Amino acid sequence: MDTAETIIFVSIFALAALLIALPRMLGRRERRRRDTAAGGDPESKESGRGESVPADGSESVVSRLTEAPDSGVPGRRRLRDRLGKSRAPFAGMRGRLKARQLDDEAWDDLEETLLLADVGVLSTARLLDGVRDRARAEGRSEADGLPALLQAEITEQLDDDVDRTLRLDAGRPNAWILVGVNGVGKTTTAAKLATRELASGHSVLFAAADTFRAATADQLAEWGARVGVDVIRGQEGGDPGAVAFDAVQAAGARGIDLVLVDTAGRLHTKVNLMEELKKIGRVVERTPGALREVLLVLDATTGQNGLAQAREFADAVGVTGVVLTKLDGSAKGGVVLAIEAELGVPVKLVGVGETADDLVDFDPAEFAAALVG
Ligand SMILES: Nc1nc2c(ncn2[C@@H]2O[C@H](COP(=O)(O)OP(=O)(O)OP(=O)(O)O)[C@@H](O)[C@H]2O)c(=O)[nH]1
Ligand SMILES: [Mg+2]
C-alpha cells in the first residue's frame, strides 16, 4: 500500500467510525436536554430555604411549582434527604454515643439533642421516659443502642391510631380550608394539594378567600391557569366568606369534587382574623357537610414559636389537621412531636420543598426513620 492508498484507507475508516458514533452522540445530547427541561439535577432543586417570597414575587413561585417536578424521587428517600438539617443533631449524637456506657452523660446527651431539634420540654420528657423504659426492659448498658430505641419510641408516640387521611367523598362538593399566619405556605400548599388531587382523578376548584391582597389571588389564579383549575375570586378587600360561599355553590353546580379555600394570614387591623375564618367555615357549611377539612398550615422553621399561633387557630377554628411546611429548610423537625402532643391535632402532610409534588403524607414510622435512623 503506498502513502496515498494509506491516507484514503484511513479517511474511509475514520468517516465510517464517525457515521456510527454520530447518532449515539446526538441521542445522548437530546436526552441530557430533555432531563434538564424536566427538572434537572434533583440536588439543585433543594432551593428555597424556607424564606418567604412576597406575593408580588408569586409568578416565580408558581413557575417553580409547576416547572420543576420531582416525581422520580420516591417519597421515603426524599423525606430522608430533605430532613438533612433536622437529622444533623441526631447524627451528631449517634457519633458521640458510640462505644459509651449508658450513663447519666448519655441520657443528658439524648435530652439535649431532643431539645435542640425543637421537640419541646414536655414531649422531650415523655420521650425520655419511654426510651428509659425500653432500655430497662431490654437490659441495655451500652449507649449506642439509644438511637434505635428513640426511633421506636417516636414512632409509637406519634402513631396512636390517629386518622391522618383527608376527607373527601367524590361526586359532591367537599371543601378544605387552609388557614395559618402570613407566609407559612398556604397558597403553595393549595397548589400542591390541587396537583395531587387532580392526579388522583378528582376535580378541583380554588377559592381565593385571601382578599387581603389582590396579588395572592393572582398567585392562585396563575397556578390555576397552568393546571386547569378555575379560581373563584372577589374584590380586593372584599368579603372572604362570600368568595368561599360562591365557590362551594359553583362546585355544586359544576359537579366539582373539591374546593380548596386559600385564606389570608393577616387582615386589616380592625378585622379579627379568627372571626373571619370562623365565618368562612360557617358559610361553607351552608351546603351541609361540605366542610371536610380545616388544615392549619405551620412553618416548621418557626419550631416551638409556631406552637403558640397554632394553639390560637386550633382553639378558634376547629382545625382537623396540620400541614407542616418547609421541613426541608428546618432544623426543628422535632416540633412534629410537640404539635401532636400539645395540640392534639394530627399532622397529616409535610411540605419538603417548593415544587408541586413536594408534599408528603405524614407517616410516623417513615418520619422517625428519616429523623433518627
Ligand atoms: N422550602 C420550602 N418552601 C416552601 C414550602 N412551602 C412553601 N414554601 C415557600 O414559602 C413561601 C411562602 O409561601 P406562600 O404559599 O406564598 O405562603 P402563604 O401562607 O400563602 O403566604 P400569605 O399569603 O402571605 O399569607 C414561598 O416562597 C414558598 O415557595 C416548603 O415546603 N418548603
Ligand atoms: Mg397566600
pLDDT at 336: 94
Ligand 1 within 6 A of CB of 333:
no
CB 266 within 8 A of CB 182: yes
Ligand 1 within 6 A of CB of 346:
no
Protein residue closest via CA to atom 25 of ligand 1: 182
Best probe residue, ligand 1, of 78, 184, 187, 188 (max atoms within 8 Å of C-beta): 188
Mean pLDDT of the chain: 83
Q: Are strands 347-351 and 359-361 parallel, antiparallel or unpaired?
A: antiparallel
Mean pLDDT of 292-321: 92
CA distance to 92, 141, 272, per residue, from 134 (Å): 22, 12, 48
Per-residue pLDDT tens over the stretch 354-366? 988 899 999 999 9
Per-residue pLDDT tens over the stretch 324-355? 999 999 989 999 999 998 888 999 999 999 98
Per-residue pLDDT tens over the stretch 174-202? 999 999 999 999 999 999 999 999 999 99
Which residues, 6 or more positions from 260, have their beta carbon under 8 angstroms from its beta carbon? 175, 176, 178, 190, 193, 194, 204, 205, 206, 207
CA distance to 107, 223, 280, per residue, from 319 (Å): 36, 26, 13
CB 183 within 8 A of CB 57: no
More confident residue, 32 or 242: 242
Which of the 8 DSSP states describes residue 100? -
Pick from 245, 181, 156, 169: nearest CA to 207: 245
Which residues, 6 or more positions from 279, have their beta carbon under 8 angstroms from its beta carbon? 240, 241
C-alpha cell at 235: 374584590
Closest ligand relative to 186 C-alpha: 1
Burial class (CB in 10 A: 0-12, 13-18, 19+), 216: buried
Provide φ and ψ at 256, rounded to 5°.
Answer: -90, 140
Protein residue closest via CA to atom 14 of ligand 1: 185
The DSSP code sequence of 280-326 is HHHHHTTSTT-EEEEEEEEEGGGHHHHHHHHHHHHHHH---EEEEE-
Ligand 1 within 6 A of CB of 48:
yes
Which residues, 6 or more positions from 134, have their beta carbon under 8 angstroms from its beta carbon? 149, 152, 153
Per-residue pLDDT tens over the stretch 255-282? 999 999 999 998 666 668 999 999 999 9
Protein residue closest via CA to atom 5 of ligand 1: 326
Q: Is the four-CA dihedral 210, 214, 220, 224 of positive or negative sign?
A: positive
Does 6 score more than 80 pLDDT? Answer: no
Ligand 1 within 6 A of CB of 82:
no
Ligand 1 within 6 A of CB of 351:
yes
Per-residue pLDDT tens over the stretch 279-297? 999 999 999 999 999 999 9
pLDDT above 90: percentage of residues in the chain:
63
Q: How confident is the model at residue 10 (pLDDT cuts 50, 70, 90)?
A: low
Mean pLDDT of 114-132: 96
User: Which residues face 326 on adjacent strands?
Assistant: none
Alpha helices in the chain (DSSP H): 3-37, 58-67, 75-82, 84-97, 104-116, 121-137, 146-159, 186-199, 214-227, 240-254, 273-284, 303-317, 335-343, 364-372
For the CA of 297, the nearest atom of ligand 1: 19
Ligand 1 within 6 A of CB of 325:
yes
Ligand 1 within 6 A of CB of 55:
yes
Rg (CA), the chain: 26
**Half-sphere exposure of 87 toward its Cβ, with a 13 Å CA cutoff?**
15
The DSSP code sequence of 155-189 is HHHHHTT---PPP--TTS-EEEEEE-STTSSHHHH
